[in-house]
Structure 1
Amino acid sequence: MDLVIGIGKVLWTLFQVIVLFNILIVVHELGHYWAAKWRGLKVEKFQIWFGKPIWKKKIKDVQWGLGWIPMGGFVALPQMAPMEMLEGKNDEEDSLPPITPKDKIIVAFAGPLFSFGLAFVFALLVWGFGKPVREQLQSTVVGSVVPGMPAELAGVLPGDQILKIDGIKVQNFAGMVDSVLERIIYSEGEEIVLLIKRQGINEPLEIRCGFNREERPAHERQDFRRIGVAPISEAIVDIIISNSPAEKAGLKRGDKILQANGQTLFGREMLSFMIQKMGDDIKPIELLILRGEEKIKVLIVPEVPIQPEENPAMLGLQWQLPPMTIESPGPNPFTQIWNGATAIFRTLSALMPWNDADVSVSQMSSAVGIGKYYYETLSDPVYGWRFAFVLSVLINVNLGMLNLLPLPVLDGGHIVMALYEWIFKSPLNIKLIEMLQFGCALLLISFMVYVTWFDVRDLSSESENPKPIVFSP
């Protein structure tokens, strides 16, 4: 029975993902459709997804259909620039009157406009129902520093508060705009300049830090810049593995570890790093634990588990997930739209060849990756739909902005061609348009296949279940 319930939950979540994902496409295409009807254009087809339709039905001279390639959609408008490669051959045999460049611009811009409008609707939902946030990520205080990484080598310590990165004030540890991780990822040059506030020192300290970036083969998703810092996190015990050092030392679920060998734990990872630094010379660790209202000291000796064999010495426990709270009301809708647009603009800027940031196209997501994010958010039984609303704001802003890029197969390309026609009183040569569209369509399809490859690889790697940790009795 439990198996049936589990399968039912998975299918229901997948159904929600498909519905939500297709709402984004339908609303965008409805913008083109209604604008075309308003301006008196001939509408031949309205299709969700590309490729030969697996379902179609003609209603009032418009063929409504569903394609077999689950990416995007289109409204076939014979009076606009021809798009036969993506939309199929135009079945209109009668000659249609030409339309003005103004009408072309209105119809082309309507799709992105509706995407921005849907983003605003989702932003209103976030504002009204609240935004889920992890408390640990709202601070810029460093919880732990990875041994041997650039941050440790430069002198960053747990408990340091990062004020600025490369002269830009950071607001939180992880977020779309002006967060610690975002500024590190989009940093340029060979050094990252951190301005930090350290306990016991009045004046802020400037620390110049290098970065690490793992070199990976071309068929793998490329790595981001990293300096080796993690956010603050409470070390509260959740699960204790049988026969582990934690069990032998008498630790209990709910215990909060405050200190290790007299050092305050700003982040739970500090314990793992402390054991890592011991190497083969394993020594006992004195823990100060808060159990209820009582503070107690416990001596614990890390051990190497017998399974998996490659695992290092550890305590044999799992931590409680960082607490989640609701920011209510959520952020201002206009702020959400602006932050989403800023994040996308910075990503596109970082991809430009003249930019020195180590950002790659392989780090972007396809429909598969977006679907995966939706699935993960909607799988949360408490905050799922709130997370989905937040994600939908970003995706709709993304959809609107990317469609405004001046490529002939996108809405921005139609606007540019219409502006050319308006200024020079003559449209571009049809053969030239077809060549440009073919080249850009090939480029766009190649891009979608390229990023889909990495998303599929991520799915396959995540499906591997790790071996359970076993300690010697």
Structure 2
Amino acid sequence: MSVLAAIAVLALLIVVHEFGHFSAARLQNIRVNRFSIGFGPILLKKQGPETEYAIRAFPLGGFVGFPDDDPDSEIPPDDPDLLRNRPILDRAIVISAGVIANLIFAYFLLVSQSAILGVPESANPQPGVIVTQIISSDSPAGRANLQAGDRILAIDNRPLQASEEAAKVFKQTIETSANQSLNLTVKRGKEQLAIALTPDADKAGKGKIGIGLAPNFELIRRPPNSIFEAFIVGAKEFQRMSVLTTKGFAQLIGNFQETAQQVASPVKIVQIGSDLAKSDAGSLFQFGALISINLAIINILPLPALDGGQLAFLLLEGLRGKPVPSRIQDGVMRTGLVLLLGLGMFLIVRDTTNLAIFQQLLP
């Protein structure tokens, strides 16, 4: 059920993004002839008065189609309700509406979390640190069979006390122990395990084991004093998550070689969401908000086949006083789409083969 919940959250975020584009177009009376979730062959479709609604085979996103791009469309090329015949501002609103929808949805998820589950009152430190993610099955942590959700209580017989310093102590010990065997005391559910691993050395000679790490806190919540408090707390959490996510993308771009392994496919995202749902179903609010913010930031990047790439062409059109030739736009967008789908399939294969159930099938 936790896997299904994570898949449902991811699918909902894609629908929200595409509905942002669709609603922005329809509110401006711009013609839309396709609304699709996923790419590739159609699995299920329904034809409306003007728009075809479809679910497709490859769930790597979705798209809103316009008659402008349909060679079989019977709508006259000079129709004022075609997207390409609208002013730059109208088109920019349609293109950016998916990003805006994801950001708004993330905010309201966090408000809903505060209203339904309560607002944070205190965070009581607990012994140990929490493993949030295993970056790769071929990392020291993966080879040692550490798992997301494990609580590390001690490292080399040194207990990790119930304090904010526990994660810092653990990280420092790993970084100063490259190529040295370390013994971890790990609590997994009700079971306590002894796990040995040896950190790899990075280019700077620091140890790394390939995990995501979080402090171990027991969060105490209370009912909000009013709905306004839920909105205020949601806004603060939205700001915090947005800043951290932006910094994460900046680090990824600035140090891609070191951080590229952390780029995840939908398979990995679902696995992370499933692990969160197992430990605390309320975490799905945070999970959904975080992924929604990530989708918004990814899509606004000026890359081909993404919303940011289309906005870049609009900017060039505004500067030149005329559109970039359609053959150039089509070539760039098609190349970008092929590369994006190729990367998506590669990440799906990589993350699928890293799942525990598939690792058990390997010799």
Answer whether TM exceeds 0.5 for this pair.
Answer: yes
* Worse-superposed segment, 60-69 or 325-334: 325-334
Larger Rg: 1
Superposition pairs of residues 112-151 of structure 1, within 5 angstroms: 112-128=99-115, 129-130=117-118, 135-136=125-126, 144-146=154-156
Other-structure match for 1:409: 305
Residue by residue over 1:378-417, the C-alpha shift from the partner in whole angstroms, topping out at 9 and shown as x without a partner, is 345xx31x01111011000001111101113111112111
Given residue 302 of structure 2, which amino acid in structure 1 is its aligned partner?
P
Other-structure match for 1:93: 74
Equivalent residues of 1:406, 1:413 under 8 A apart:
yes
Task: Choose the corresponding residue for 1:341, options 242, 249, 265.
Answer: 242
Cα distance change on mapping 1:213 and 1:450 into 2, 3 Å: farther
Residue by residue over 1:129-181, the C-alpha shift from the partner in whole angstroms, topping out at 9 and shown as x without a partner, is 148978437989x963348xxxxxxxxx756899xxxxxxxx6766xxxx888
- Alpha-carbon RMSD across the aligned residues, in angstroms, is 4.1
* Worse-superposed segment, 24-33 or 336-345: 336-345
In 2: Cα distance, 1:327 partner to 1:457 partner: 38
Secondary structure of residue in 1 paired with 2:264: coil
Equivalent residues of 1:139, 1:172 under 8 A apart:
no
In 2: Cα distance, 1:387 partner to 1:417 partner: 39
Other-structure match for 1:75: 64
In 1: Cα distance, 2:243 partner to 2:42 partner: 36
Other-structure match for 1:254: none
In 2: Cα distance, 1:131 partner to 1:229 partner: 38
* Worse-superposed segment, 366-375 or 42-51: 366-375
Cα distance change on mapping 1:325 and 1:455 into 2, 3 Å: same
In 2: Cα distance, 1:114 partner to 1:417 partner: 21
State the 1:439 CA deviation. 1.9
Cα distance change on mapping 1:347 and 1:212 into 2, 3 Å: farther
Secondary structure of residue in 2 paired with 1:400: helix
Equivalent residues of 2:111, 2:235 under 8 A apart:
no
Aligned residues: 306
Residue by residue over 1:215-234, the C-alpha shift from the partner in whole angstroms, topping out at 9 and shown as x without a partner, is xxxxxxxxxxxx97989x9x
In 2: Cα distance, 1:357 partner to 1:131 partner: 39
Given residue 369 of structure 1, which amino acid in structure 2 is its aligned partner?
K
Other-structure match for 1:351: 252
State the 1:125 CA deviation. 2.1
Q: 2:340 aligned with 1:441, yes or no?
A: no
Equivalent residues of 2:128, 2:159 under 8 A apart:
no
Equivalent residues of 1:131, 1:387 under 8 A apart:
no
Equivalent residues of 2:124, 2:217 under 8 A apart:
yes
State the 1:109 CA deviation. 0.9
In 2: Cα distance, 1:409 partner to 1:236 partner: 42
In 1: Cα distance, 2:350 partner to 2:119 partner: 29
Other-structure match for 2:227: none
Other-structure match for 1:41: 30
Equivalent residues of 2:20, 2:100 under 8 A apart:
yes
In 1: Cα distance, 2:339 partner to 2:269 partner: 20
In 1: Cα distance, 2:128 partner to 2:119 partner: 13
Cα distance change on mapping 1:358 and 1:58 into 2, 3 Å: same
In 1: Cα distance, 2:66 partner to 2:128 partner: 48
Superposition pairs of residues 239-388 of structure 1, within 5 angstroms: 272=194, 324-328=218-222, 332-352=233-253, 354-355=254-255, 358-360=258-260, 362-380=261-279, 383-384=280-281, 386-388=282-284
Given residue 359 of structure 1, which amino acid in structure 2 is its aligned partner?
T
Equivalent residues of 1:336, 1:393 under 8 A apart:
no
Q: After the TM superposition, list the runs of 4 or more consecutive aligned residues in structure 1 that deviate by more than 6 angstroms.
A: 131-134, 137-140, 159-162, 227-231
Task: Choose the corresponding residue for 2:92, options 86, 101, 105.
Answer: 105
In 2: Cα distance, 1:348 partner to 1:366 partner: 16
Task: Choose the corresponding residue for 1:63, options 52, 55, 62.
Answer: 52
In 2: Cα distance, 1:388 partner to 1:131 partner: 16
In 2: Cα distance, 1:138 partner to 1:410 partner: 41
Residue by residue over 1:49-84, the C-alpha shift from the partner in whole angstroms, topping out at 9 and shown as x without a partner, is 1112122121121111111112211111244xx5xx
TM-score (norm. length: structure 2):
0.70
Q: 2:314 aligned with 1:418, yes or no?
A: yes
Runs of 5+ unmatched residues, structure 1: 1-9, 83-88, 148-156, 163-170, 185-193, 195-206, 215-226, 240-267, 277-321, 466-473
Secondary structure of residue in 1 paired with 2:354: helix
Residue by residue over 1:253-305, the C-alpha shift from the partner in whole angstroms, topping out at 9 and shown as x without a partner, is xxxxxxxxxxxxxxx88xx59x99xxxxxxxxxxxxxxxxxxxxxxxxxxxxx
Given residue 55 of structure 1, which amino acid in structure 2 is its aligned partner?
L
In 1: Cα distance, 2:266 partner to 2:175 partner: 36
Equivalent residues of 1:51, 1:69 under 8 A apart:
yes
Given residue 304 of structure 2, which amino acid in structure 1 is its aligned partner?
P
Other-structure match for 1:25: 14
Equivalent residues of 2:125, 2:218 under 8 A apart:
yes
